[in-house]
Chain A
Amino acid sequence: MTAGGGAPTPYIPNTDADRALMLARLGIDSIETLFDDLPAALRDPAIALPPALAEAELMRLLARRGAQNAAGERPSFLGAGAYRRSIPAITAHLVSRSEFATSYTPYQPEISQGTLQAAFEYQSVVCELTGMEVSNTGMYDVASATAEACLLAARVTGRRALALLEPLHPGTADVVRTYAFGAGLRVDTLSAPQAMTAEHACLVAQQPDFLGAIRDLESVAGAAHDAGALCIAVADPFALGLLRAPGDAGADLVTGEGRDLAGPPGFGGPSLGIFAARERFLRQLPGRIVGRTRELAREGHEPRTGYVLTLQAREQFIRRERATSNFSTGQALLALAFTISVQALGPQGLRRAAELCYQRAHDAAARIGALPGFAIVERGPWFQEFLVRGPLPPAELARRLAAREITAGLDVSARPEPEARDALLFCVTEATAPEHVDALVAAMGTIGARS
Chain B
Amino acid sequence: MSHDGDVGARLAFDRGAPGRRAVDVARWEGTPAALPPPGLLRDAVRLPELSQGELVRYYTELSGRNFGVDSGTYPLGSCTMKYNPKVDDLVASLPAFAEAHPLAPAATMQGTLRTLAELAAMLGELTGLPAVGLAPAAGAQGELAGMLMVRRALERRGDLAGRRRVLVPDSAHGTNPATAAMAGFEVTEVPSGPDGSIDQQALARTLDGDVAALMVTVPNTLGLWERGIEAVAARVHEAGALLYGDGANLNAILGRVRFGDLGFDVVHLNLHKTFSTPHGGGGPGAGPVCATPALAPFLPAPVVTEDADGSLRLVRPEHSIGQLQQFHGSIGVLLRAHAYIRSLGIEGLRAVSANAVLNANYLRALLEGSYALPYQRRALHEVVFSGSPQRREHGVRTYDIAKRLIDYGFHPPTVYFPLIVEEALMIEPTETESRESIEAFAAALRAIAEEAERDPDLLHAAPRHAPIGRLDEAGAARRPVLRWQPPAQPAEPRDER
Contacts and interface: CB of A to CB of B under 8 A. Distances in A.
Contact of B476 (A169, A270, A292, A329): A292
B40 A216 contact: yes
Interface stretch (A193-201, A222-230, A315-323, A413-421): A315-323
A95 to B, nearest CB: 8
Interface residues of A, number: 203
B487 interface: no
B257 A45 contact: yes
Interface string B159-178: 00000000000000111011
A446 interface: no
Interface in A107-134: 107-115, 117-118, 120-121, 123-125, 127-129, 133-134
B341 interface: yes
B23 A102 contact: no
B433 interface: yes
A154 B240 CA distance: 32
A3 interface: no
Given A330-B138, A330-B283, A363 B324 contact: no
A39 interface: yes
Contact of A44 (B25, B45, B255, B417): B255
Contact of B471 (A47, A52, A296): A296
A191 interface: no
A113 B66 contact: yes
Contact of B346 (A19, A49, A62): A49
Given A59-B91, A171-B326, A174-B322, A103 B279 contact: yes
A268 B281 CA distance: 21
Contact of B326 (A182, A257, A305, A410): A257
A44 B183 CA distance: 34
| Residue from A58, A133, A179, A343 having most chain B Cβ neighbours under 10 A | A343
A284 interface: no
A108 B468 contact: no
B285 to A, nearest CB: 4
A328 B98 contact: no
Interface string A350-382: 111101101110110010000000000000010
Interface in A79-102: 80-82, 84, 86, 88-90, 93-94, 96-102
Contacts of A117: 7-8, 11, 62, 65
B98 A266 contact: yes
Contacts, number: 697
B445 to A, nearest CB: 15
Contact of B140 (A72, A305, A328, A353): A328
B158 interface: no
Contact of B281 (A14, A115, A282): A115
Interface stretch (B200-208, B350-358, B387-395, B447-455): B350-358
Contacts of A157: none
B108 A407 contact: yes
B63 A22 contact: no
A34 B361 contact: yes
Given A267-B104, A319-B178, A356-B27, A182 B468 contact: no
Contacts of A69: 96-97, 100, 108-112
28 contacts: A12-B352, A13-B435, A36-B378, A42-B257, A45-B261, A62-B115, A66-B95, A69-B112, A72-B98, A101-B68, A108-B67, A113-B467, A117-B65, A124-B13, A125-B47, A179-B144, A181-B148, A244-B42, A270-B333, A271-B137, A320-B187, A326-B175, A329-B283, A340-B59, A346-B22, A348-B49, A381-B37, A430-B25
